[in-house]
Chains A and B, each alone.
Chain A
Amino acid sequence: MKQTMKFQREADPEWSERFRTLPGCERISSCIQCGTCSGTCPLSIYMDYTPRKIIALIRAGFREEALSSKTIWLCASCYSCAALCPQQIHITDVMYSLKREAIQAKKYPPRFPIPVLAQEFFNYVKNWGRNAEIPVVLKMALKSNPFILLSMIRSGWGLFRTGRISLKRERIKRTGELQRALSAVKEHSHA
């Protein structure tokens, strides 16, 4: 049987405090654990921790659990939770902060496609200035779990047939300037 007790030595209160100073995370301390976020979230039913529990994990300082949860990757940024939260916590921003930290610390679940997708999306846009679904999704599948492509064939073919996705690569002019801008942002965020 798995033991579920949490020892206080597993908590990182300093991380918790530092996390609450990140932009958008300032009001985490005000959370009254009412569950409005989880109730209104269209994806909470698939999450391992509901958004409310994520807030509780951050406050308790359980960094490991918060960063390696699937929840942060399932968040679709619909902002329903932020709109209804009675304490005006910017929950979507909290999710982004966690995602950012999880990527830096490589804390996401193994072979979990969503962070790979995020990275591939970023790389593609950085290189070409535009998104293209087919190469990005292909890369995501190849780098995480190629079998998920099988489950996408039907809807993929439908989208392709109706012209919603194409094999044509679109690009903007002067991609070099975009890359310079993005690398400036990256430098700044590391400073």
Chain B
Amino acid sequence: MRESNGAVRVGVYVCHCGSNIGAIVDCKAVAEYAAGLLHVAVARDYKYMCSDPGQELIQKDIEEHKLNRIVVASCSPHLHENTFRVATAKAGLNPYYLTMVNIREHDSWVHTDRAAATEKAKDLVRGAVRRVVLQRPLEKGRVPIDPKVLVVGGGIAGIHAALTLANAGKKVYLVEREPTIGGHMAMFDKTFPTLDCAACILTPKMSTVKNHPNITLWTYSEVESVSGYVGNYDVKVRRRTRYINEDLCSGCQECIAACVFKEPKFPDEFNQRLGKRKPIYLPFPQAVPQTPVIDPETCIEFKTGKCKKTCLEACADRHAIDFKLTDTVEEIRVGTIIVCTGFQAYDARRSPQFGYGIYPNVYTSLEIERLVNAAGPTAGEVVLRDGKTVPRSIGIIHCVGSRDENANRWCSRVCCMYSLKLAHLLKEHTDAEIFNFYIDMRTPGKSFEEFYQRLLNEGVHFIRGKVAEVTDWAADPSEEGKLVLRVEDTLLGVVRRIPVDMVVLSVGLEPHADAQDVRRMFNMTCSNEGFFLERHPKLAPVNTFTDGVFLAGCCQGPKDIPDTVAQAGAAAAEAMALIDAGYVEQEPNVAYVIEEDCSGCKTCIPMCPYSAITFREQDKKAEVNAVLCKGCGTCVAACPSGSIQQRLFEDDELFEELEGVLIHA
């Protein structure tokens, strides 16, 4: 590598970025001005510095003009710092002899006065030139990556990510909070727009997960804590006890049959509380794993200790049931983490005008999914809450809890399509008159519009307007005993009253109530609405701001099954890219302690957001772990004696730059 033996020779490159910068900043004038600055050997302006010819320009100049410092005045370093570092390194110069000046986001995009913006660009360039003279050569560090992966959440996203990784030979831990994997998709009856049976396409993947030699499946479990850094995360997983030993249970379900409760008596969570289950139960027939759970809230043995324990007898020699089992905590080390914790459905009680929880025959869409399902509480028979009446007319209200400043402001993206699907299924099951109330019909997917056309031709009514009120008050004898939807038919411009037997609320998708806890645990960020935030909305859609932590599925935002699966595959590929590289390169801009100045006051230790600073007892000094340090600079600012410095942001470099910016030449 060429080092700065002898005179410092700076090359300054001013980029027009097409008209992004060039329209507001006089780039030529900036380059001419820079040419006159101390140490500057060459200064040029160019239309697109980031293009290949632009980079070659720098490389040629390094060769011809013997440059040993480079200043590029262009866009944000977030976008092209790496491009120019690579270009500089290729020409044989240490890449940390480069500095970037942001004259786009910090200048041309935020100013309108051409003369003043040009002056500002000159100031910024002058600061950078003075700074770059002092910059030191640095080397990147390397951290090895543990090849094991943790997948959090066993819905379709987690299942797909885990299988993709496992099939590639990676060891995967799949952790699921519920007693079975499958997530929301397992509750659905059919999937839009093809009307494949959800269970038929999901359950084979579920059992593959169970039997895959590379997947360790922990259901009824939750991640309790995460520490470490990319490539080396230490994770604690609490495995809640089912009171049934998973290894001993054969899945025969004799215990469920033998329970002292002859009939199911307690609300069944999986069936949206429409059906009943026993205290010992399997959420649904194809649940994975096929190990029942005992619910201590309803089990007589737990409540009184006086049960006949017929389940124990039924289990006989296997001894899988043990009321004394307790939670266990597993400690694992993984290199990468994929978070696929999914969504929760909007609670329709929060919008009381739709009457959910007030009128029994107002249902949520998830309840209807179970109601039309052959494995559901009514074995697929669509009947009202009385258990026998088949509805003759049904109203489906779109956008419940979505696109609403009083609830959630976002469009939940799948409701239009699943409402169409439910309209079709309900029509098929009951031949009822079906009314869909929508604000805007959003069918932007492959074969989605065709599905809408199909529904239009099936005779389903579509009324453009958001229902203002669901009531049982009859304004007309024809409305007696019905639920009446009052709505403006915005296409006709008249207010209509439509009596129906059943109302379906197409509830939106929202982040889990405990999403904030999950976010903190994995050191992620959230968007305004509370969904986990991807690193870049277009170019890094499955990465988070924490290296080695990836996102997939509805925890990142509402999406349908194909998009979820695609995203899960992408997250798996990103994890694999890290694993197969074997190591990650670490930016060298880390903090370090000047030991002779450190007084051992420990101020810096709690300040560090990455727990990268430790206190060395033997000589009472702080020490920065360069692998954990992200170069945020908090400790540098916090140190009362100024004994922490950060590479690439050394005091002398920063002060020199400041002076350069502030002194008008």
* Known contacts A39-B469, A52-B488; A32 and B440 CB within 8 A of each other: yes
B467 at the interface (CB under 8 A from A): yes
A87 at the interface (CB under 8 A from B): yes
B493 at the interface (CB under 8 A from A): yes
B499 at the interface (CB under 8 A from A): no
Find out whether the CB atom of A44 lies under 8 angstroms from the CB atom of B353.
Answer: no
* Known contacts A32-B439, A32-B440, A33-B490; A86 and B495 CB within 8 A of each other: no
Find out whether the CB atom of A38 lies under 8 angstroms from the CB atom of B495.
Answer: yes
Which of these, A36, A44, A45, A50, contacts B466 with CB under 8 Å?
A36
A123 at the interface (CB under 8 A from B): no
* Known contacts A34-B465, A44-B495, A86-B466; A39 and B405 CB within 8 A of each other: no
Residues of A within 8 A of B486 (CB): 39-40
Find out whether the CB atom of A50 lies under 8 angstroms from the CB atom of B440.
Answer: no
B468 at the interface (CB under 8 A from A): yes
A24 at the interface (CB under 8 A from B): no
A145 at the interface (CB under 8 A from B): no
Find out whether the CB atom of B404 lies under 8 angstroms from the CB atom of A50.
Answer: no
A35 at the interface (CB under 8 A from B): yes
**Which A residue's beta carbon lies closest to that of B440?**
A32
The size bracket of the interface on B is 20 to 34
Find out whether the CB atom of B490 lies under 8 angstroms from the CB atom of A40.
Answer: no
A88 at the interface (CB under 8 A from B): yes
Residues of B within 8 A of A52 (CB): 488, 490
A118 at the interface (CB under 8 A from B): no
B371 at the interface (CB under 8 A from A): no
Cα–Cα, bound, A37→B407 (Å): 16
Give A6-34 as 1s and 0s: 1 = Cβ < 8 Å from B's Cβ atoms. Answer: 00000000000000000000000000111
Residues of A within 8 A of B142 (CB): none
Report how many residues on chain A are interfacial, defined by Cβ distance under 8 Å.
20
**Distance (Å) between the CB of B354 and the closest chain A CB?**
11
Among A32, A33, A37, A86, find the residue whose CB has the most chain B CB atoms closer than 10 A.
A86
* Known contacts A36-B466, A39-B487, A50-B488; A86 and B403 CB within 8 A of each other: yes
Residues of B within 8 A of A87 (CB): 405
B406 at the interface (CB under 8 A from A): yes
Residues of B within 8 A of A40 (CB): 353, 468-469, 486
**Distance (Å) between the CB of A184 and the closest chain B CB?**
36
Residues of A within 8 A of B405 (CB): 85-88
Find out whether the CB atom of B487 lies under 8 angstroms from the CB atom of A35.
Answer: yes
Find out whether the CB atom of A35 lies under 8 angstroms from the CB atom of B406.
Answer: no
Give B461-504 as 1s and 0s: 1 = Cβ < 8 Å from A's Cβ atoms. Answer: 00011111100000000000000001111100111000000000
Which of these, A37, A53, A88, contacts B493 with CB under 8 Å?
A53
Find out whether the CB atom of B469 lies under 8 angstroms from the CB atom of A35.
Answer: no
Residues of A within 8 A of B353 (CB): 40, 84
Which of these, B399, B403, B404, B495, contacts A39 with CB under 8 Å?
B495
Among B399, B465, B468, B487, find the residue whose CB has the most chain A CB atoms closer than 10 A.
B468
Which of these, A38, A41, A86, contacts B404 with CB under 8 Å?
A86
Which of these, A34, A37, A85, contacts B439 with CB under 8 Å?
A34
Cα–Cα, bound, A39→B495 (Å): 6
Cα–Cα, bound, A41→B487 (Å): 10
**Distance (Å) between the CB of A24 and the closest chain B CB?**
15
* Known contacts A34-B439, A39-B469; A44 and B403 CB within 8 A of each other: no
Cα–Cα, bound, A84→B92 (Å): 66
Find out whether the CB atom of B468 lies under 8 angstroms from the CB atom of A39.
Answer: yes
**Distance (Å) between the CB of B211 and the closest chain A CB?**
47
Residues of B within 8 A of A34 (CB): 399, 403, 439, 465-466, 490
**Which B residue's beta carbon lies closest to that of A35?**
B488
Find out whether the CB atom of B465 lies under 8 angstroms from the CB atom of A39.
Answer: yes
Residues of B within 8 A of A35 (CB): 464-466, 468, 487-490
Find out whether the CB atom of B406 lies under 8 angstroms from the CB atom of A88.
Answer: yes
Cα–Cα, bound, A88→B409 (Å): 11
**Which A residue's beta carbon lies closest to that of B486?**
A39
**Distance (Å) between the CB of A156 and the closest chain B CB?**
27
Cα–Cα, bound, A33→B464 (Å): 9
CB proximity to A under 8 Å, residues B405-453: 405-407, 439-440
Cα–Cα, bound, A8→B440 (Å): 25
CB proximity to B under 8 Å, residues A70-113: 84-88
Give B537-571 as 1s and 0s: 1 = Cβ < 8 Å from A's Cβ atoms. Answer: 00000000000000000000000000000000000
**Distance (Å) between the CB of B179 and the closest chain A CB?**
37
Residues of A within 8 A of B495 (CB): 38-39, 41, 44-45, 50
Cα–Cα, bound, A179→B468 (Å): 42
Cα–Cα, bound, A85→B490 (Å): 15
**Which A residue's beta carbon lies closest to that of B466?**
A34
CB proximity to B under 8 Å, residues A123-178: none
Cα–Cα, bound, A37→B469 (Å): 11
* Known contacts A86-B406, A88-B405, A88-B406; A39 and B493 CB within 8 A of each other: no
Cα–Cα, bound, A87→B486 (Å): 19
**Distance (Å) between the CB of A124 and the closest chain B CB?**
34
Cα–Cα, bound, A58→B564 (Å): 41
Find out whether the CB atom of A39 lies under 8 angstroms from the CB atom of B467.
Answer: yes
Find out whether the CB atom of A84 lies under 8 angstroms from the CB atom of B468.
Answer: yes
Cα–Cα, bound, A35→B490 (Å): 6
Residues of B within 8 A of A38 (CB): 465, 468, 488, 490, 495
Residues of B within 8 A of A45 (CB): 495
Give B352-388 as 1s and 0s: 1 = Cβ < 8 Å from A's Cβ atoms. Answer: 0100000000000000000000000000000000000
Cα–Cα, bound, A50→B468 (Å): 14
Residues of A within 8 A of B493 (CB): 50, 53
Give B330-354 as 1s and 0s: 1 = Cβ < 8 Å from A's Cβ atoms. Answer: 0000000000000000000000010
Cα–Cα, bound, A34→B469 (Å): 13
**Which A residue's beta carbon lies closest to that of B496?**
A39
Find out whether the CB atom of A32 lies under 8 angstroms from the CB atom of B469.
Answer: no
Cα–Cα, bound, A41→B488 (Å): 10
Cα–Cα, bound, A39→B492 (Å): 13
28 A-B residue contacts at CB 8 Å?
A32-B440, A33-B439, A34-B399, A34-B403, A34-B465, A35-B465, A35-B468, A35-B487, A35-B489, A35-B490, A38-B488, A38-B490, A38-B495, A39-B465, A39-B466, A39-B468, A39-B486, A39-B488, A50-B488, A53-B493, A84-B406, A84-B468, A86-B403, A86-B404, A86-B407, A86-B466, A88-B405, A88-B406
Hey, which bits of chain B sit against chain A, CB under 8 A?
Answer: 353, 399, 403-407, 439-440, 464-469, 486-490, 493-495
In addition to A38-B468, A50-B493, A88-B406, 4 A-B residue pairs with Cβ atoms within 8 Å of each other are A39-B469, A50-B488, A84-B406, A87-B405
